[in-house]
Amino acid sequence: MRYQRVCIESFVTLLPEEVVTSEQIETQLAPVYERLGLPAGRLELMSGIRERRFHAAGCRPGTVSAQTVQKALQVSQLDPRHVGALIHGSVCRDQLEPATATGVHHAASLPDDCLVLDISNACLGLLNGMMMIADLIELGRIQAGIIVGTEVGRPLVEGTIAKLLRDPQVSRKSIKLDFASLTIGSGSAAVVLCEESISRTGNRFLGGACLADTRHHRLCAGGVEEQGSDGRPLMSTDSEALLHAGVNLAERTWAVARQTLGWSNADVDRIFTHQVGKAHRQLLLSRLELPPERDYPTVDFLGNTGAVALPTAAALGLQRGIVQPGDRVALLGIGSGLNCIMLGLEWHKTLFE
């Protein structure tokens, strides 16, 4: 997968204001912790997540995504008439039908001849959207496109807490399958891509690689089929098995991506990874033989924000100025299923609000 004519104009993010600490979650779970003899601080110790953020109760993803798209257009200064595709790529959506992207498209006043759709691929939806829009630009079908998503983590976290409190059979073994659900946070992100002739940045989207290992599609599963009695979503995750299977797939994917891009590890100046937890980050970077100081972790203060985690980390890192003109940037994404996407950028200019 190589691109010759595609540029990345901007990564943007909108973060909720409400902060919820791991300590607060454990306070709610105190009866379970006491019954099972679990030490306080276990959640942060195991995950490295100090806090995460939540949108207000009842928040609809599309409402926030519309605001994020408007911010993305403002930052990129892209004429909305050039936008030929709008994709909503987060796990969370407003409803099954119609596509959440339709409401976002209407709120952002984008053109009628714009392709409007949702895609879903666990934590990789926004990276998949980047690839789809890049394909359309490379083919000459469109001049520009936006991939956006908003993850609303409150229902899953609060639903998991309620489930654990009302389950008299919960054990030290069974609670492990709920651990990942307590690490989830909320956030929103968007990426603007365009054809090089209208780019203001010259930030080149070079290409990359994607691989799947669907033998492991049951290691992390949830949603409608796993709803609790109160109607909130639940998720079951074999975190340890998912960690090792995901990193194994990442190692294979990174080898293909490097070959496709013509890179060695020494060529990579900056890294943005999917934000899961400290154990995942340490093992991933160790196996890929990439220096941790080139990465920009956000998981400690945002938690795992699903499909928006990686682009949010990129947006925040770019705001901080950690990417310099001429830097080669690797985007390393892994999602349950299992799927893996690793992309390469050549960065030249960051646009600010």
- The residues carrying an active-site annotation are 97, 123
Q: Please tell me the distance from the alpha carbon of residue 49 to that of residue 182, in angstroms, as a whole number.
A: 10
Q: Please tell me the distance from the alpha carbon of residue 21 to that of residue 231, in angstroms, as a whole number.
A: 24
**Residue reference for tokens 């540029």:** 7
**DSSP states of 105-145:** HHHTT--TTSEEEE--BTBTHHHHHHHHHHHHHHTTS-SEE
Pairing state between β 339-346 and 328-335: antiparallel
Pairing state between β 6-14 and 18-21: unpaired
Q: Which residues contact 349 (CB under 8 A, 6 or more apart)?
A: 200, 201, 202, 203, 325
Closest CA to 246 of 198, 279, 268: 279
> Do the Cβ atoms of 92 and 151 come closer than 8 Å?
yes
Q: Please tell me the distance from the alpha carbon of residue 198 to that of residue 325, in angstroms, as a whole number.
A: 19
> Do the Cβ atoms of 312 and 272 come closer than 8 Å?
no
Distances (CA, A) of 306 to 77, 95, 185, 324: 27, 18, 8, 27
Give SS3 for 242.
helix
